[in-house]
Amino acid sequence: MRPLDLYEKDSSKRITIYFEGKVLDAYDGEKLPVALLANRIYWITTSLQGRKRGAFTFGPLPVVINGVKNMNGRKTAVRDGMRIERQNYGEFQEVVEIGENKETIQEVVDVAVIGGGMAGIGAVLELQEHLTVAIIEERGWLGGAMSLKGITQEGFDGSPREVIDELTSKFNENVKVFKGTISLGVFDEGEYFLVPAVKKGQLIEIMAKKVILATGAVENILLFENNDFPGVFRLDFALEVMNKWGVAPGRKVAIVGRRPERVIPELEKWGIEYVVVPNPKRIEGEEGVERLIDMNNNVYEVDAVIMSDYRIPDINPVTQAGGKLTFKWGYYVPVIDEQNRIREGIYVAGSVTGIKPHYANYLEGRLVGAYILKEFNYKSTPAVYREKLEKYEPEALPPLHVDFKAMDLKDVQICGCDVDLKKVDDVVKQGITDLQIVKRLTHLAMGFCQGRFCLFNGAILVSQRTGKEMSTIDLPVARPPLKNVRVKALAKE
Ligand code: ATP
């Protein structure tokens, strides 16, 4: 077994790959950073400013594969003989060429569901008997955040994998599933909405009469020194490497953040040693985490750090589609009407409307499906779902106080695309507090994640430095495309 494998894998799939010339064991089809992690290789790429980066915090993951530069390591499956080398960010941006040779696929459906988490699955199951549905999911599998968990979730019987398999096996012939497909946004097109999506460089144009945004939530990124260092894991990545790929994040991990209980049972299930460190200050190491130092100068010898904090709704798809935001429960959520609509024809369901257990998000998907059935004059019972949902008040996020004085802000990354906290703080301290202008001056939220992970921290910074309430801070509207792709045809270059 490789050093961080959690169990023996199928030996018939065993292959050899090369990283920086080093010979490594891997398994055919394994995700590239996972294959490297299993061999204890954390440092995979280098940021523009020369910072060592891994694959599991934030930011892009450009690598050289078989001599070809600017490949997205995060989306690459390893194959026998693959040669991988480090690369720095350079001009990395994934470009989707829509050329003469590739015909655009067009689909016309009643409802397009963006996001294949529990909310999206619930919506599909509700709608499919009477309406045609397309469900678009960026990951190569359905189930969203719940699919990464290894422990039975409240409201469901059985392991998350079993529940998801069972529910999705009920999809009927009215349902078209687009996995590994990124939706670029929602656009008005006469009586329809156009939902352009991209799968492996192929443009798919989905025309739908109604759209459901079930795009979920993202992990809150914690601010401390070297929070981008190889070996620091966002919680969703830590869960994915363990539960989906059977690889440990490290031998001894530190859990930081205000919700350690979100990861403790998962680590215990695999017998991974951990220590909870509530007040991280700095991470140090050569090519991966070697130690974590807290605000009281206690030193923890660990080889990985997991950020286990709160989730916050991913509001980019909402603002792109023309929705407005409000500040509630400590984070930004879409303004919705009594049928969960952000505007005529566009609905929201799941953790994008407020952070709740997976089962509640599933119910909300069904609820929105029921509203749409009614719109199409089919019999449905939204009130039943509404009543069940009442028991789930969304989770409140306590205000985060960043201890600016205790840290070297240059070493704290607020945005994966090489924007440090000092750069943003300097601008805010000059009195510039409009995030739209901060964005232009610092490049915060301009890159890889389009602000999904960093705008919230930008708002916290402005609020803390100026005393302005979070509710009065305007977040810049997301522009298409929602994800880090440049579609040449759309850009009309
Ligand atoms: P829960 O929060 O309980 O897990 P949920 O369904 O509300 O339920 P997620 O599990 O986060 O939320 O699922 C949302 C899914 O939407 C994720 O799997 C994510 O990959 C997908 N997604 C988000 N944005 C896009 C996009 N632009 N295109 C395609 N898929 C997307």
Q: Is the CB of 195 under 6 A from ligand 1?
A: no
Burial level of 484, CB count in 10 A (0-12/13-18/19+)?
A: middle
Atom of ligand 1 nearest to the CA of 185: 27
CB neighbours of residue 102 within 10 Å: 13
Residue 412: which residues within 8 A CB-CB, separation 6 or more? 223, 224, 225, 227, 420, 421, 422
pLDDT digits 0-9 by tens, 1-15: 999 999 999 999 999
Nearest CA to ligand 1 atom 11: 216
- The answer to whether residue 49 scores a pLDDT higher than 90 is no
Task: In the chain, list all ranges with CATH 1.10.10.1100.
Answer: 409-483
Phi, psi of 369 (to 5 degrees): -60, -40
| 409-483: CATH, from 3.40.430.10, 3.40.50.300, 1.10.10.1100, 3.60.20.10 | 1.10.10.1100
pLDDT digits 0-9 by tens, 196-238: 998 887 889 999 999 999 999 999 999 999 999 999 999 999 9
Which value does ipTM take for this structure?
Answer: 0.99
Instruction: Determine the pLDDT at residue 493.
Output: 42
Q: What is the mean pLDDT of the chain?
A: 92
Return the best residue to mutate from 138, 154, 234, 367 for the ligand 1 pocket (most ligand atoms within 8 A of CB). Answer: 138
- The answer to whether residue 330 scores a pLDDT higher than 70 is yes
Give the whole-number percent of the chain exceeding pLDDT 70.
Answer: 95
Task: In the chain, list all ranges with CATH 3.10.20.440.
Answer: 11-92
Grade residue 58 by pLDDT with cuts at 50, 70 and 90: confident
What single-letter DSSP state applies at residue 76? P
Count, residues in the chain:
493
Please give the single-letter amino acid code of residue 186: V
Q: Are 8 and 1 in contact (CB under 8 A)?
A: yes
Residue 428: which residues within 8 A CB-CB, separation 6 or more? 438, 461, 462, 465, 466
Atom of ligand 1 nearest to the CA of 357: 3
State the average pLDDT over residues 175-182.
96
Atom of ligand 1 nearest to the CA of 139: 20
What are the contacts of 239-242 at 24+ separation with CB within 8 A? Answer: 239/148, 239/149, 239/150, 239/263, 239/266, 240/148, 241/34, 241/37, 241/56, 242/6, 242/150, 242/266, 242/267, 242/270, 242/272
Q: Is the CB of 137 under 6 A from ligand 1?
A: yes
Return the best residue to mutate from 125, 137, 244, 331 for the ligand 1 pocket (most ligand atoms within 8 A of CB). Answer: 137
Atom of ligand 1 nearest to the CA of 142: 18
11-92 fold: Ubiquitin-like (UB roll) (3.10.20)
Could you report how far apart the first and last alpha carbons of the chain are, in Å? 49
Q: Is the CB of 119 under 6 A from ligand 1?
A: yes
Q: Is the CB of 136 under 6 A from ligand 1?
A: yes
Q: Are 73 and 32 in contact (CB under 8 A)?
A: yes
Grade residue 484 by pLDDT with cuts at 50, 70 and 90: low
Please give the Cα distance from 142 to 217 (Å, whole number). 15
Grade residue 492 by pLDDT with cuts at 50, 70 and 90: very low
Going by their DSSP bridges, the two strands 83-88 and 105-114 should be labelled as unpaired
pLDDT digits 0-9 by tens, 73-85: 988 999 999 999 9
Q: What's the gap in Å between 13 CA and the centre of ligand 1?
A: 30
pLDDT digits 0-9 by tens, 314-329: 999 999 999 999 999 9
Residue recorded with tokens 């981008």: 228
Please give the Cα distance from 156 to 134 (Å, whole number). 25
**With respect to CATH, is domain 105-218+314-389 assigned 3.50.50.60?**
yes
Higher pLDDT pick, 487 / 106: 106
Instruction: Determine the pLDDT at residue 153.
Output: 96
Q: Is the CB of 350 under 6 A from ligand 1?
A: yes
Which helix (H) or strand (E) is 121 found in, with range? Answer: helix 118-127
Atom of ligand 1 nearest to the CA of 146: 4
Atom of ligand 1 nearest to the CA of 350: 7
Instruction: Determine the pLDDT at residue 64.
Output: 95
pLDDT digits 0-9 by tens, 387-398: 999 999 999 999
Atom of ligand 1 nearest to the CA of 356: 3
pLDDT digits 0-9 by tens, 305-315: 999 999 999 99
Phi, psi of 194 (to 5 degrees): -100, 125
Q: What's the gap in Å between 291 CA and the centre of ligand 1?
A: 33
Instruction: Determine the pLDDT at residue 14.
Output: 98
- Cα angle 17, 19, 23 (rounded to 5 degrees) comes to 55
Going by their DSSP bridges, the two strands 22-27 and 52-53 should be labelled as unpaired
pLDDT digits 0-9 by tens, 409-441: 999 998 877 888 999 999 998 988 888 888 888
pLDDT digits 0-9 by tens, 130-154: 999 999 999 999 999 999 999 999 9
Instruction: Determine the pLDDT at residue 347.
Output: 98
Q: Is the CB of 117 under 6 A from ligand 1?
A: yes
Q: What's the gap in Å between 216 CA and the centre of ligand 1?
A: 4
